[in-house]
Amino acid sequence: MLFSGSMTAIITPFRDGRVDEDALRKLVDWQISQGTDAIVPCGTTGEAVTITYEEQDRIVRIVVEQAAGRVPVLAGAGSNSTANAIKLAKQCKAAGADGQLQVTPYYNKPTQEGLFQHFRAITEVVDLPMVLYNVPGRTAVNMLPETTSRLASIDTIIGIKEACGNLEQIKRIIADTPKEFAVFSGDDAMNFDIYRAGGRGAISVTSNVAPARVAAVWDAFNGGRVEEAQRLHEGLSVLNKAMFIETNPIPAKTALAMMGRCREEFRLPMTAMGEEHRAELKSILESNGLLT
């Protein structure tokens, strides 16, 4: 399988308003050394909606170059415009990405037929494996299992990142799609439950700051050590919650800045974390042995 296991939805580090290429390369190396199975740049956690086409291309090229075939790269290429999503997908393919992550169009609130036609249109132009991304809390539209099942019949659509928060919906997708179609957790708090339901891995926010621990959950589960996996997952519960005490990616990037791995710099409308939450986050990182 092209993508599986613990995959990091990596942040985009900035320095003085520009992509911090050196910090990004170091983050990729660190992630791989910690057992991460794939890198996912230019997603929600990567502040994709505020980067330019040129920056998206450069970020993907850097991640592909730095990963150097050690792990696959699943590049975010989503847009609420089908034409723009096609343009981004073409860039990802040209940059050498192994696959594209395509979110359901946000703000537009397309119908289920509109969702189907959007994703199908991209596959008809760009021959690059696609992982769908359903995150209704961000997009204001929930892609229903019936639509996902229709899309799963398209050869180049190989899986879905599910962040709907509804385990029954996710179980239905797993039951109703071909065995080779992969369902990935898009909600760290649900990783273990989704693995147990038949998920093939997670595209994680928490793994930005604790990649080895998030990977260990999958490795234990995939190795048949289910009780160990559950224990390791439960041990991450406080950290998982901390990654969402403010809007993602504010906590993850703030945590990495505290850990000395990037600058604490965002693009508006994302702003620095409030002082009360900052103190809470620091305490949680300390208790998890992440500030050394």
In a domain, 65, yes or no: yes
48: containing domain: 5-225
- Number of domains the chain contains: 1
Q: Domain containing 128 — which CATH number?
A: 3.20.20.70
Task: State the pTM of this model.
Answer: 0.97
Amino acid code (one letter) for 244: F
| Concatenated DSSP letters of 102-170 | EEPPPSS---HHHHHHHHHHHHHH--S-EEEEE-HHHHS----HHHHHHHHTSTTEEEEEE-SS-HHHH
Is pLDDT at 22 greater than 80 in this prediction?
Answer: yes
* Nearest Cα to Cα of residue 197 among 185, 215, 180: 185
In a domain, 266, yes or no: no
Query: pLDDT for 242-269, tens place per residue?
Result: 999 999 999 999 999 999 999 999 999 9
Query: pLDDT for 116-172, tens place per residue?
Result: 999 999 999 999 999 999 999 999 999 999 999 999 999 999 999 999 999 999 999
pLDDT-based confidence at 203, cuts 50/70/90? Answer: very high
Query: pLDDT for 74-109, tens place per residue?
Result: 999 999 999 999 999 999 999 999 999 999 999 999
In a domain, 292, yes or no: no
The per-residue pLDDT for 292 is: 77
Please report how the helices 53-67 and 21-33 are oriented relative to each other, as an axis angle in degrees rounded to 10: 40
In a domain, 112, yes or no: yes
The per-residue pLDDT for 76 is: 98
In a domain, 240, yes or no: no
In a domain, 290, yes or no: no
The DSSP symbol for 291 reads: -
* Mean pLDDT, the chain, whole residue set: 98
Q: Do residues 77 and 49 touch, judged by C-beta distance below 8 A?
A: no
Residue numbers annotated as active site: 133, 161
In a domain, 255, yes or no: no
In a domain, 235, yes or no: no
